[in-house]
């Protein structure tokens, strides 16, 4: 029996309830709380602020006659797990992660969008929901909506497998950490993932995909490229604030519109 929260029941971490989200089925999940307002206003210039609790900041946008929730998840798979659990019990069905990533393939440029079709499970949280043999795959139809949205938005994009890690430095084989030390088992891992046609590194998609699949929900992930790892470990802040931000907002808006259209929610 699936748990459903009472309409007035405020969730402990997100500070949200069924009544507060006003029937929203779609939620956009940036990791960073500071991105929420901009994303919400890309859907609706009059989007309203809902709550600010821990790493979860939320807004409600009115979009083609329906409400869209924007709620930050915080960084990493454990936070994604908490967010997904609390939003599922208040009625959210479609989960779109928006984030940043580091590309590891030479044909992917700064500012491009990576639409993840599946993820390498390098996180720990998803293992509490399903054994390692269980695949971390995006929802097929919802991901196709994002692909169509990227085409409509005329945003440069790539589709494929993402490596989703728990650590930013070690598991992504970054040597610009405090010690600069990487375990022997991680050295050369980026070359190996590149050879296996993995496109990028990020830190939430594997948990999102596994949990959504287990729960019978719908999940997709789009990430803006802010580091081109074949050239440098450095993050381009100009790209993060500029091309990547512009592209992920346009793709999210167009992608969710395509999903709503496919489901007969808009004409």
Catalytic annotation present for 86: yes
Catalytic annotation present for 263: no
User: Residue 53: in which H helix or E strand, if any?
Assistant: strand 48-53
What is the rounded distance in angstroms from the CA atom of residue 200 to the CA atom of residue 163?
Answer: 6
Catalytic annotation present for 229: yes
Which member of 35, 229, 249, 254 is catalytic?
229
Which member of 13, 54, 194, 262 is catalytic?
13
Q: How many CB atoms lie within 10 A of CB 30?
A: 24
Residues 6+ positions from 241 with CB-CB distance below 8 Å = none
User: At 128, is the secondary structure helix, strand, or coil?
Assistant: helix
What is the rounded distance in angstroms from the CA atom of residue 37 to the CA atom of residue 28?
Answer: 11
Which member of 174, 218, 249, 254 is catalytic?
174
Which member of 86, 148, 173, 204 is catalytic?
86
| In contact, 33 and 58? CB cutoff 8 Å | no
Residue labelled with tokens 């891992």? 189
| In contact, 204 and 100? CB cutoff 8 Å | no
Q: Which residues pair with 57 in a beta bridge?
A: 52
Q: How many CB atoms lie within 10 A of CB 113?
A: 28
| In contact, 16 and 10? CB cutoff 8 Å | yes
Catalytic annotation present for 174: yes
Which are the catalytic amino acids? 13, 86, 174, 229
């Amino acid at each position: 029996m699936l748990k459903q929260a009472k309409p007035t029941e405020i969730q402990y971490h997100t500070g949200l309830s069924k009544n507060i989200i006003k029937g929203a089925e779609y939620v956009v999940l940036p990791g960073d709380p500071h991105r929420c307002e901009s994303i919400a206003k890309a859907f609706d210039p009059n989007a309203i602020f809902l709550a600010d609790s821990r790493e979860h900041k939320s807004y409600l946008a009115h979009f083609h006659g329906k409400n869209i929730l924007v709620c930050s998840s915080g960084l990493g798979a454990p936070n994604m797990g908490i967010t997904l659990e609390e939003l599922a019990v208040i009625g959210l069905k479609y989960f779109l992660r928006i984030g940043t990533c580091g590309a590891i393939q030479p044909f992917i440029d700064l500012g491009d969008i990576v639409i993840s079709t599946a993820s390498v499970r390098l996180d720990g949280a998803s293992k509490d929901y399903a054994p390692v043999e269980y695949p971390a795959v995006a929802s097929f139809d919802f991901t196709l909506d994002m692909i169509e949205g990227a085409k409509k938005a005329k945003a440069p994009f790539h589709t494929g497998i993402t490596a989703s890690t728990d650590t930013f430095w070690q598991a992504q084989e970054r040597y610009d950490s405090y010690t600069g030390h990487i375990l022997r088992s991680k050295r050369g891992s980026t070359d190996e993932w590149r050879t296996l046609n993995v496109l990028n590194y990020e830190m939430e998609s594997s948990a999102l995909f596994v949990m959504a699949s287990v729960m019978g929900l719908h999940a997709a992930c789009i990430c803006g490229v802010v580091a081109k790892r074949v050239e440098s470990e450095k993050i381009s802040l100009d790209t993060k604030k500029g091309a990547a931000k512009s592209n992920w907002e346009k793709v999210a808006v167009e992608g969710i519109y395509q999903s709503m259209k496919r489901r007969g929610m808009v004409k």
